[in-house]
Amino acid sequence: MSNKILKYVRAVVFIAMVAGLVKCMDYAMMPSGYIRYIIHETDNADTDDGYDNIIIGASHARSAINPVKLDEAGASDNAFNLAIPGETVTDSYYLLMESDRHNNVKRVIYDLDYQYWCNYAEREFEDCFIYTWIPFSNVKLKYIADNLLTKDFRTVYSKRWAYEISPSAIMNNLKVKSSAAYRNYSMDAVEIHDAGGPYAAKGFFYRDMKMDSLVPSDIVAWDESGISDKVLDSFEKTVQYCKKNNIELVCVTSPITPTTSVNGYSEQAGAYFTRLCEEYGVEYYDFNLLTMDTLPRTDDDFFDEEGHMLGELADRYSDILASVLLDKCDKSTAFYGTYAQLEQAVYENYVTK
């Protein structure tokens, strides 16, 4: 064998050894997480047509929209909540495409949380926490081509952003990953610390953890000038993908803590999303404006100031969402016309029970 060929062989062997070492480190140091489970569930529905309604968004959507309620009301045949805490506008686009690879998606319910739109700082490794769990496919290749070519090359194949390197954590990871629950994608092998309640079904967690008072939150300020071109581009791609594939797109903002909705930035964000969705010809509903008669609620129905719903309110809200999707809701009476009307109702009767 010539020296020239030997050099290439050595290079290939070295690369293979490094790749193998990285995979071993991923296996030992990367905890079993919710994203692995939920993407697998999305890709493996129990029916021939799969899921027909997909919910995307972040933690508010995961706490607020119960897909079982949509099914029971007849708004969907088999809905699924693919909202993931920390899910960015860019993530939502690729998760939609991934879900559509395996399901006959007819409608997407997109929960818009402005906190993922304003001044969202891109990060080298942490932004890939959802990408890493997408199975190898044309969707994953598109993600790499669209987002990772200008990043540290290690983001393409390494999960180092989530490594737990203590000996006890490594031993626990190895124990979990050698279990039947892990191999079978069972929730028993998933460590979740932020759900606030038990896993119900189909991507929905029923929050029942209630503190003596609302948990304080660092709420992002509204800043329309801080909405990046990448965020807008990702939203536009989502809209165009739905139109191209004959998927109905319904954008919503789920209700948040009443006092936060009137003292914070919900009005500005809602006005912006209304204009944006009108521009793209997409339905948008700001459910913060639901009247208190339509959806009775107080601060006590939420876990924190930011607005993560408790399960009882989430079920009632999901019933109303279903009625809106079915066009069985009189929107002229179900919604306040202005935030001033909402504010009056909140401070007259509904701050606390």
pLDDT of 350 strictly over 90 = no
Q: Is residue 161 part of a domain?
A: no
User: According to the model, what pLDDT value does residue 227 have?
Assistant: 94
Q: Is residue 8 part of a domain?
A: no
User: According to the model, what pLDDT value does residue 251 have?
Assistant: 99
Q: Is residue 4 part of a domain?
A: no
pLDDT of 154 strictly over 70 = no
Q: Is residue 26 part of a domain?
A: no
> pLDDT by residue (tens digit) across 44-64?
887 888 999 999 999 999 999
The number of distinct structural domains making up the chain is: 1
Distance separating alpha carbons of residues 180 and 183, to the nearest angstrom: 5
β-strand pairing of 107-111 with 199-201 = unpaired
Query: What stretches of the chain show up as alpha helix (H) in DSSP?
Result: 3-29, 34-43, 59-64, 67-73, 89-102, 138-143, 167-177, 180-183, 229-244, 258-263, 266-280, 311-325, 331-334, 339-345
Confidence band, pLDDT 50/70/90 cuts, at residue 125: very low
Closest CA to 110 of 273, 292, 219: 273
CATH number (domain holding residue 76): 3.40.50.1110
Q: Is residue 13 part of a domain?
A: no
Q: Which residues constitute the domain of residue 74? A: 34-151+190-350
> pLDDT by residue (tens digit) across 95-116?
999 999 999 999 999 999 999 9
Q: Is residue 344 part of a domain?
A: yes
Q: Is residue 336 part of a domain?
A: yes
pLDDT of 240 strictly over 50 = yes
Closest CA to 253 of 151, 148, 113: 113
pLDDT of 158 strictly over 80 = no
Average pLDDT of every residue of the chain: 88
User: According to the model, what pLDDT value does residue 353 have?
Assistant: 46
Is 9 or 303 the better-scoring residue by pLDDT?
A: 303
User: According to the model, what pLDDT value does residue 82 have?
Assistant: 98
SS3 for 273? helix
Q: Which residue has the tokens 């029942």?
A: 208
Whole-prediction pTM value? 0.90
Confidence band, pLDDT 50/70/90 cuts, at residue 188: confident
> pLDDT by residue (tens digit) across 170-186?
888 788 888 898 889 88
User: According to the model, what pLDDT value does residue 126 have?
Assistant: 56
Distance separating alpha carbons of residues 204 and 92, to the nearest angstrom: 17
Q: Is residue 86 part of a domain?
A: yes
